[in-house]
Each structure stands twice: as structure tokens, then as C-alpha cells.
Chains A and B, each alone.
Chain A
Amino acid sequence: MKIYFDGSSWMTGSELEDKSKRYSTLISKHFGAEEYNLASGGASNNRIVRQLVTENDIADYDLAIIQMSMAMRWEYYDDTQKEWVQLRPITQPSEKEHKKWLRYYYGHMYSNHFGTTYEHMFSQLVRDHCKVKGTPLILLTNRHADGFKYTTSPTNFKFDLDISDPKYPRERKGHPNEEGHQMICNDILDLLKK
């Protein structure tokens, strides 16, 4: 059995001393499955969709567990470094002009309406893409994880589990601690039983 995981730092196990305690590993161990975790700190929903749709074939997996990230984030392709760069309000671009450009974007262009609309769009794509490929999906969000850095507005779109629920205990910088990861793992297993 192979399980596909993607998301942000909440899925990488950020702040855990022992990464084998992150919920993706706990779930994989539970099923005796191969864990394929593509999550990355600071990941945008654009990255999650890109990796799902253009870089992997989800039909090769028996289960997908995808954690949507903060709507405010996005990404661009940096041709000089030949890599995708994740953007967020706290990003510190190396070049002054880019910094100015990014500040302008978040200050004058970005709106919650934009973010929520695209969050909905990307989430729907993740759901329908997995459905078409025949891979069961658990769709998570941590959209309420950090109200100081990231503004959010309510959405009617339903996620299977909101892991930014304060019932999951956290570490100092705000990521789930070992107990939190175990609880998230248990809740996902409950969802899968249903």
C-alpha cells in the first residue's frame, strides 16, 4: 500500500524532535504502508495542486491525504535558480525590488475574496482529480492556524478535517506537538473507518 501526503509544515512534522511521530508516518505505520510525503514548510496551495496534477500520478497510490495550506501563499518559477519559489507575506526576497513588489502585492492587490475563491477552486480540483483517478482522498486544512500572519475569511467549502482546531495541542511556534500529531492521526483513521 502507498499513501500520498502533501501539505505544509504541519505535515512535515515541523517542531517535532522525532519526525517519525508526525501523523503521516503514524498513519502509514498503522496500515503498514509506504509513506510518500511531499509536504514542505511554507508551501502554497498552488504547489500542492501542481505536485498533484502535473508531477505525480495519483492513480499509483491507494490513498491521498492532502492538507491545504494558507490561501495567502502562492508561488512562481525562478528561472535563474530553476526552482519554484513559495511566496507568503513574510517572505524576504533577496532582491530589493522583488521585496517591494511582494509588499505591494500583499498590501494593494491581495484580498480575502481572492484567496478564498482560489482556495475553494484548488480544493475542488484536488477532490475531483482524485475522484477521477479513483484514489480515495482525505482533505485537510490548517487555514485557521495563524490569524496574525494570515488573514482568512469564512468559506462554505467543506474540508474533511480542520487540523488547525485548537483541540490539537501545539508546540511553541504553533505546530502540533507529538500528542497533537497522534490525535490528528486518530481522527484521520476514524474518518477512514467511516
Chain B
Amino acid sequence: MKTKIYFDGDSVTYGKELFDLSKRFSALVCEKLNAEEHNIALNGGSNRRVMRNLIDNLGKFDRYVIQMAKRSRTEWYDEDEDKWQIVTNQPVKSGNYDFWKRYYREIYHDNYGITDELICYNFIRALLVNVPHLILWSGDYDFNLPADLVYKKGSFPVRRGHPNEEGHQMICDDILNIWR
């Protein structure tokens, strides 16, 4: 039976800006390992979403690759639409625009985000303690947690803001190097 690998994160793991999603790093890793790819990453995804998804998917996969998202993001459950809505600091697609604009202007503080990020990191490590897994992070602010792979701005070639094909190949190689 094929190894099943779970991937979650935001637009980086989703493969935003790639013309061909078979070139995203999750697909490349799975191709190399002859594994089944299960990628549920979402553009604008938050660490809260990553945590929520992980609970639902524990024990179902052989390996997990989790990309932590921008710490300022969050989510809320929209009962009218019956779905979880992503919330970014440009909350145009989040629903309740004025509410979230005010949240980022008056309520949210980076101390909250840093704390939430640390909680998420510990959450992933604790839930996957006996399961092969990797935590990766990509972003443009200081990130001091001991993730397995950390990509600060400029670490890989991008197409606008997201890794291009070459960038995805680099991430794939880094993952395979660790798993070797």
C-alpha cells in the first residue's frame, strides 16, 4: 500500500502562483517517494486552521508536513454559509469586513500573534510526537521557533511573493534530505 502524506499550510503549500500544481513541493515529494499526496493547504490559511485540521486528521496518514502560517491570521465559523472563513489582515474575503478591520486596528497585537504561534507550534509537536512529521515556516518577519525548515524572505526564488517551480523544488529537496 502507498504511503500517505498529509500536507497543510497556506498559499505556499497550496502552490499559489504556480501554473501547474503538480510542481508544488507536496506533489514533488510524493512523486519521489511514490506516496499518496493529501494536500489541504489553503490560500490565506491560519495556524488555527492548521490545528483544527490536524485534530480531524490524526492517525490517518503515515507522515505529516505542516507549514505554519502568518501569525496574525485567524478564522471564524460562518453559520450562514456553513463554513470556516479565513481571516487575514486584509480581510476582504473574510466576511464582516468592518469587524475584522477594527480587530486588526484596535484589538490584535503582535504579542497575541507570537503567543498563538508558540501555542500552535507546541500543539503540532505534541499531537505528532510519535509520528514522522516536519514543521516548516516561510515568511518575512522574525521567527524564532525551532521548526525543521525555516524560509525567510529571499530563501527561495519567487514568482511575485510565492515560491516558483524552482523554489518548490528546493523545498522538496530539503524535505527529502531531512527524511533521508
Q: Is the interface of B mostly helix, strand, loop or mixed?
A: helix
What interface size band does chain A fall in? 20 to 34
Question: In the bound complex, how far is the Cα of B106 from the Cα of A78, in angstroms?
Answer: 9
Contacts of B125 in A (CB 8 A): 132
Contact A125 B76 (CB under 8 A): no
Are B76 and A114 in contact (CB-based, < 8 A)?
yes
Count chain B CB atoms within 10 A of each CB in A49, A50, A121 and give the residue with the most: A121
Chain A residues with CB under 8 Å of B102's CB are: 97, 101
Chain A nearest CB, measured from B41 CB (Å)? 19
- CB contacts under 8 Å to A, within B79-132, are 79, 96, 99, 102-103, 106-109, 111-112, 115, 118-119, 122-123, 125-127, 129
Q: Which residues of A contact B119 (CB under 8 A)?
A: 49-50, 53-54, 125
CB of B77 within 8 Å of the partner chain: yes
The answer on a CB contact under 8 Å between A76 and B79 is: no
B51 within 8 A of A: yes
Tell me if A31 is interfacial: C-beta within 8 Å of chain B.
Answer: no
Within the complex, what minimum Cβ distance (angstroms) separates B59 from chain A?
Answer: 13
Q: Is A194 an interface residue (CB 8 A)?
A: no
Which listed residue, A105, A114, A125, touches B77 by the CB 8 Å rule? A114
Q: Quick one: which of A106-132 are within 8 Å of B by CB?
A: 108-109, 111, 113-114, 117-118, 120-121, 124-125, 128-129, 131-132
Any A CB within 8 A of the CB of B21: no
The answer to whether A50 touches B115 (Cβ under 8 A) is yes
B106 partner, pick from A98, A121, A125, beta carbons under 8 A: A98
Chain A residues with CB under 8 Å of chain B are 49-50, 53-54, 76-79, 97-98, 101, 104-105, 108-109, 111, 113-114, 117-118, 120-121, 124-125, 128-129, 131-132
Q: Which 6 A-B pairs give the minimum distances between C-beta atoms?
A: A128-B126, A114-B77, A77-B111, A77-B112, A77-B109, A132-B126
